[in-house]
């Protein structure tokens, strides 16, 4: 028994406002995009005949296809980097820092930027990466290079650097949560069963934190795939990912083409998320074991 009766009408009605809100603002518009992406004809109206021309036009263009592929490749790279980095940091913070005060300080230093604007943090990389930027000045000062390297700003390298700083926290957060949930007795039990530390990690700790890794990877995947803002600020106009294409078409009033890209983006993400859900039950997060 609790303050809500199981399967009561009240529980149903409590969920209705949120459900209507989400349906109206998320589901309907995305369904609308799927519909719009099939509109043919000359005028932009619901009366348009349905056709797959928009898609065939998109797939006929090699540049767009390459863009789609490079987006997926770039995202995969980011997932690997943030995944490894995030796990190391999470492991250090939860397992290796013994002093609670230091743990809190390092933890806050790690997560606080997450609460500030992603946009501003992206922009912050600009003075860092430019031809006269901090990085180049440092490199020239140490003599590593004579002439400034132009490849930092407005390049995939610069974009990646910025995105690693933006999204490592997302890969690490769920892992920190899962690491905290691993009972110390399990590691101790393994040790008394003759498992040395590395084996304890691979056989006990890592499998138990795998759901956290997967959720972290999903978050990174979703965010990098959709992160047109960092690409726009750090990458300038020279580079684009799939999500920038949506903006590009939208600004060019090519709403149908933009919808096509949006639908493709959505399909990519659904595949990623569904694959991840096969591994983890997100709903059990927060339950005591």
Partner 1 sequence: MDALAPRTAGVAPSLPVAKPQLDLELRDIRKKYGDFTAVDGVSLKVPKGQFVCLLGPSGCGKTTTLRCIAGLEDPDDGGVLIGGKEVTRDPPWQRDIAMMFQDFALFPHMTVAKNVAFGLEMLKQPKARIAERVAQVLASFEISALADRKPGSLSGGQRQRVALARAMITEPRLLLLDEPIGALDYSLRETVMLELKLLQQRTGISFIWVTHDQNEAFSLGDLVVVMNHARIEQQGTPEDILQRPATAFVASFIQGNNVFRGTVLERAGGNVRIETAAGVFIVPCLGASPEIGATATFSVRAENISDTVSERHPNRLTAHCTAVEYFGAVRRHIFERADGEVLKVDHFGAQAARIAPGQSVLLGWQVEDTVLHQGIPG
Partner 2 sequence: MKFALLGDWKFRSALTGWGLGTLTVVFLVYQWMPILTLGLLSFAGPTGGTTFPMNGVSLHWYEELWKATVMNDFKPPLVRSSLLAAACAITTVVLSVMSAQAMRGKFRGNDWFFYLMLLGIMAPGILVGFGFAILMRLLDVELAWNTTTFLVQVSWTLPFGFLTMLAVFNRFDSRVEEAALTLGASRLTTFRRITLPLIMPGVIGAGLFGFSLSYDEYPRSMFTTGPDQTLPLAVMAQLDRQLTPEIYAIGTTTTVFSLIAVLLCTSALWAMRRSTAPRKA
Q: Under rule CB under 8 A, which residues in 179-218 are in contact with partner 1?
A: 183, 185-186, 188-196, 199, 203-204, 207-208
Residue 274 interacting partner from partner 1, partner 2, none (CB closer than 5 to 8 Å by kind):
none
Residue 172 near residue 110, CB atoms below 8 Å: yes
Q: How many CA atoms lie within 13 A of 276 on its CB side?
A: 21
Q: Figure out which of the listed residues 124, 139, 204, 210 binds partner 2, where binding follows CB under 8 A.
A: 124
CB of 29 to partner 1, least distance (A): 40
Element (H, E) at 108: helix 100-111
Residue 110 near residue 89, CB atoms below 8 Å: yes
The pair of three-digit structure tokens given for residue 268, joined into one six-digit string: 């990519």
Residue 255 interacting partner from partner 2, partner 1, none (CB closer than 5 to 8 Å by kind):
partner 2
Residue 216 near residue 224, CB atoms below 8 Å: no
Question: How far apart, in whole angstroms, are the C-alpha atoms of residue 9 and residue 282?
Answer: 26
Q: Figure out which of the listed residues 61, 116, 180, 253 binds partner 2, where binding follows CB under 8 A.
A: 116
CB of 34 to partner 1, least distance (A): 39
Of 177, 207, 203, the C-alpha closest to 91 is 177
The pair of three-digit structure tokens given for residue 64, joined into one six-digit string: 């767009």
Judged by beta carbon, residue 191 or residue 276, the one nearer partner 1 is 191
Judged by beta carbon, residue 7 or residue 62, the one nearer partner 2 is 7
Instruction: Kindly state whether residue 77 participates in binding partner 2, applying the rule CB under 8 A.
Output: no
CB of 115 to partner 2, least distance (A): 5
Question: How far apart, in whole angstroms, are the C-alpha atoms of residue 54 and residue 36?
Answer: 10
Residue 26 interacting partner from partner 2, partner 1, none (CB closer than 5 to 8 Å by kind):
partner 2
Chain residues binding partner 1 by CB under 8 A are 183, 185-186, 188-196, 199, 203-204, 207-208, 289
């Amino acid at each position: 028994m609790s303050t809500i009766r199981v399967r009561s009408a009240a529980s149903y009605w409590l969920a209705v406002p949120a459900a209507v809100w989400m349906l109206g603002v998320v589901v309907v518009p995305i369904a609308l995009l799927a519909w719009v992406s099939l509109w043919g004809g000359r005028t932009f109206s619901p009366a348009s005949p349905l056709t797959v021309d928009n898609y065939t036009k998109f797939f006929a263009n090699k540049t767009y296809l390459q863009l789609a592929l490079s987006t997926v490749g770039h995202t995969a790279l980011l997932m690997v980097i943030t995944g490894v980095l995030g796990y190391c940091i999470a492991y250090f913070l939860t397992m290796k820092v013994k002093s609670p005060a230091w743990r809190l300080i390092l933890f806050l230093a790690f997560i606080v930027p997450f609460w500030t604007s992603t946009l501003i943090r992206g922009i912050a990389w600009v003075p860092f990466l430019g031809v006269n930027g901090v990085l180049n000045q440092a490199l020239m000062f140490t003599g590593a290079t004579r002439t400034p390297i132009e490849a930092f700003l407005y390049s995939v390298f610069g974009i990646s650097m910025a995105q690693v700083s933006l999204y490592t926290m997302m890969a690490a957060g769920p892992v920190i949560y899962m690491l905290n949930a691993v009972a110390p007795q399990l590691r101790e039990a393994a040790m008394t069963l003759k498992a040395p530390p590395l084996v304890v990690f691979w056989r006990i700790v890592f499998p138990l934190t795998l759901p956290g890794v997967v959720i972290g990877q999903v978050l990174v995947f979703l965010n990098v795939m959709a992160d047109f803002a960092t690409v726009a600020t750090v990458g300038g106009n020279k580079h684009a990912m799939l999500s920038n294409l949506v903006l590009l078409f939208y600004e060019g009033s090519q709403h149908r083409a933009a919808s096509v890209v949006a639908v493709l983006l959505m399909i990519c993400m659904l595949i990623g998320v569904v694959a991840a859900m096969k591994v983890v039950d997100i709903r059990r997060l927060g339950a005591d074991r």
